[in-house]
Structure 1
Amino acid sequence: MIAYIHGFNSSPASNTFGMLRKVFPDAHALEYPSSGFFPENLARLQKQARDIIDASSPFVLVGASLGGFYASQLSALLLCNCVLINPVVRPAQSLRQFLGPNTYFYGGQHWEFTPEMCDSYSIFADARSAPVKRMVVLGLADTLLDPEEARAYWKNYAFIHETNDGHSLTALDETIVRTLRDWQQ
Structure 2
Amino acid sequence: MIIYLHGFASAGFGAKAQKFLEYFEEEIITPTLPTIPNLAIATLEQLIEAFLNRDIKVSLIGSSLGGYYALYLANKYDLKAVLINPAVNPCITLDENREYEDDFVINYYDRSRFEFNQSHINSLKNYEVGFIKKPENFLTLLQEGDEVLDYEEAASKLEETNLHIEEGGNHSFVAIEKYFRKVDTFLNS
Instruction: Indicate yes or no: 2:79 matched with 1:75.
Output: no
Measure how far apart 1:40 and its partner are: 3.0
Matching residue of 1:55: 55
- In structure 2, do the counterparts of structure 1 residues 125 and 113 end up closer, same or farther at CA, with 3 Å as the change threshold? closer
Measure how far apart 1:49 and its partner are: 2.4
Hey, what's the Cα distance between the residues in 2 that align with 1:141 and 1:133? 25
Matching residue of 1:119: 122
Hey, what's the Cα distance between the residues in 1 that align with 2:108 and 2:16? 13
Hey, what's the Cα distance between the residues in 2 that align with 1:180 and 1:160? 16
Correspondence list, 1:19-34, <5 A: 19-26=19-26, 27-34=28-35
The partner residue of 2:175 within 171, 174, 179 is 171
Aligned residue for 2:46, secondary structure, equals helix
Is the contact made by 2:6 and 2:65 (CA closer than 8 Å) also made in structure 1?
yes
Name whichever of 107-116 and 67-76 sits farther off. Answer: 107-116
Instruction: Indicate yes or no: 2:143 matched with 1:142.
Output: no
Matching residue of 1:10: 10
Hey, what's the Cα distance between the residues in 1 that align with 2:115 and 2:16? 25
- In structure 2, do the counterparts of structure 1 residues 125 and 5 end up closer, same or farther at CA, with 3 Å as the change threshold? same
Name whichever of 11-20 and 90-99 sits farther off. Answer: 90-99
Is the contact made by 1:30 and 1:49 (CA closer than 8 Å) also made in structure 2?
no
1:101-157 deviations in Å (ceiling 9; x for gaps)? 21111222112221111111123242642235101110111010010010011112x
What TM-score, normalized to structure 2? 0.86
**RMSD across aligned C-alpha pairs, in angstroms?**
2.0
Aligned length: 181
What TM-score, normalized to structure 1? 0.87
Measure how far apart 1:12 and its partner are: 0.8
Hey, what's the Cα distance between the residues in 1 that align with 2:49 and 2:130? 19
Instruction: Indicate yes or no: 2:137 matched with 1:133.
Output: yes
Measure how far apart 1:66 and its partner are: 0.1
Name whichever of 18-27 and 60-69 sits farther off. Answer: 18-27
Task: State the percentage of identical aligned residues.
Answer: 24
Matching residue of 1:109: 112
Matching residue of 1:159: 162
Is the contact made by 2:91 and 2:125 (CA closer than 8 Å) also made in structure 1?
yes
